[in-house]
């Protein structure tokens, strides 16, 4: 292993033991294996999936059965290289793509590695995540970032990749009228991405004034559906990007999509949605889901580097590693919360 000096033998990690049970633990600093690099983690965004694991101990069939480190929106600096890894990566700032596919299966070979059945994804049981001071990752998934990006930008390239993948699946193009349901972090960054892809109009729906204000600041039209129901808004999109994950919202939004429109289900939450089949058939709507992303980091990085997407608007709170529990719960009592970032070196 090739390493910089000053790497300790142990590190701190925020470990989930069960619903609502999070504590700091001392763990050995991992050593990078063949083709891997060791990253000193400097920023980690908190995701809705982290909050869900913290509250419920599971998401669908993924169950926390043993202590788990959360966090998958991570960035930091390469401080060590394993055998065969490119030593020129030493000292470089990187954004971590959190899924490592097998690279050999029938999904990986055609490039659909996000669908790899043997994917190892950070903070998805039983794989530990990035709420820790050091993390090992394959060098191919430690993406170098330009100096103009902040460490928060680098970490949040992960949720931006979700938005890039959704817009690609929807084939968002100049002239499209886009509807985005849900103004959470994914909905807000998807609104910016849709504009960057050329959409002439973007409408974002939610019920929280603070988040709708952020949507307006990103160049979207905001609709408070607690005041004006979507069906009464008179908006007929060519593309629906459903980011709320709420089944009833999905069903209502699909009913507004125009002829030959495209519907992409991004938000996760319900196992089933009420599908307005007559609308889908009579309007020849295309409907698909998304699952993570593939080959998105170069585009996401370029969008931020060019200024087309501003990720700093998402960051509302910052915490040290010892305050990880506060980062996971801030949204329950602070209406201004959008995206909490954890700084493990604090």
Q: Which domain holds residue 110?
A: 2-156+311-343
If asked whether residues 256 and 116 sit together in one domain, one would say no
Interval 37-55 mean pLDDT? 96
Query: Does residue 276 share a domain with residue 203?
Result: yes
- Nearest to 44, CA basis, from 335, 320, 306, 302: 320
pLDDT at position 226 over 90: yes
Residues in the chain: 346
Report if pTM > 0.85: yes
Report residue 72's pLDDT band, with 50, 70 and 90 as the boundaries: very high
Give yes or no: residues 169 and 227 share one domain: yes
What is the per-residue pLDDT for 242? Answer: 98
DSSP SS3 for 170: helix
Please tell me the distance from the alpha carbon of residue 78 to that of residue 137, in angstroms, as a whole number: 10
296 occurs within a structural domain: no
- Nearest CA to 76 out of 127, 29, 133 is that of 133
302 assigned to some structural domain: no
298 within some domain: no
**CA atoms of 45 and 333, how far apart (whole Å):** 19
Give a yes or no: residue 58 inside a domain. yes
CA 176 → CA 132, 198, 201, distances in Å? 42, 7, 7
Does the pLDDT of residue 269 top 80, yes or no?
no
Give the domain CATH number at 34.
3.90.180.10
In this structure, the strands spanning 142-144 and 73-81 are: unpaired
Contact 161, 103 (CB under 8 A): no
pLDDT computed for residue 44 by the predictor: 98
Of 25, 21, 45, 51, nearest to 328 by C-alpha is 51
CA distance linking residue 270 with residue 253, whole number of Å? 15
Note the pLDDT of residue 282.
98
Is pLDDT larger for residue 65 or for residue 60? Answer: 65
Question: Are 263 and 149 contained in the same domain?
Answer: no
pLDDT (tens digit per residue) in 1-20: 787 778 999 999 999 999 99
Residues 6+ apart with CB under 8 A from 278: none
């Amino acid at each position: 292993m090739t390493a910089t000096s000053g790497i300790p033998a142990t590190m701190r990690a925020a470990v989930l033991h069960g619903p609502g049970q999070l504590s700091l633990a001392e763990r050995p600093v991992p050593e990078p294996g063949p083709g891997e690099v060791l990253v000193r983690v400097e920023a980690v965004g908190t995701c809705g999936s982290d909050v869900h694991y913290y509250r419920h101990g599971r998401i669908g069939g993924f169950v926390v059965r043993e202590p788990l480190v959360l966090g998958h929106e991570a960035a930091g600096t390469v401080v060590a290289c394993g055998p065969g890894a490119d030593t020129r990566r030493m000292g470089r700032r990187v954004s971590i793509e959190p899924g490592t596919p097998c690279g050999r299966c029938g999904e990986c070979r055609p490039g659909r590695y996000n669908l790899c059945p043997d994917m190892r994804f950070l903070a998805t049981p039983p794989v530990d995540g990035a709420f820790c001071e050091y993390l090992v990752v394959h060098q191919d998934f430690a993406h170098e970032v330009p100096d103009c990006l902040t460490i928060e930008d680098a970490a949040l390239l992960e949720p931006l990749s979700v938005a890039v993948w959704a817009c690609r699946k929807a084939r968002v193009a100049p002239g499209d009228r886009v509807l985005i349901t849900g103004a959470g972090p994914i909905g807000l960054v998807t609104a910016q991405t849709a504009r960057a892809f050329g959409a002439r109009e973007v409408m974002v729906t939610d019920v929280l004034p603070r988040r709708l204000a952020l949507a307006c600041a990103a160049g979207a039209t905001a609709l408070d559906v607690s005041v004006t129901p979507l069906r009464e808004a008179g908006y007929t999109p060519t593309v629906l990007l459903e980011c709320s994950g709420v089944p009833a919202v999905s069903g209502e939004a699909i009913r507004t999509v125009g002829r030959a429109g495209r519907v992409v289900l991004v938000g996760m939450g319900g196992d089933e949605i009420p599908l307005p089949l007559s609308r889908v058939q009579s309007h020849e709507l295309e409907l698909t889901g998304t699952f993570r992303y593939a080959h998105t980091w170069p585009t996401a990085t370029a969008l931020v580097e060019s200024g087309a997407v501003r990720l700093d608007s998402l960051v509302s709170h910052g915490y040290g590693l010892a305050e990880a529990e506060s980062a996971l719960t801030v949204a329950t009592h602070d209406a201004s919360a959008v995206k909490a970032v954890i700084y493990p070196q604090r």
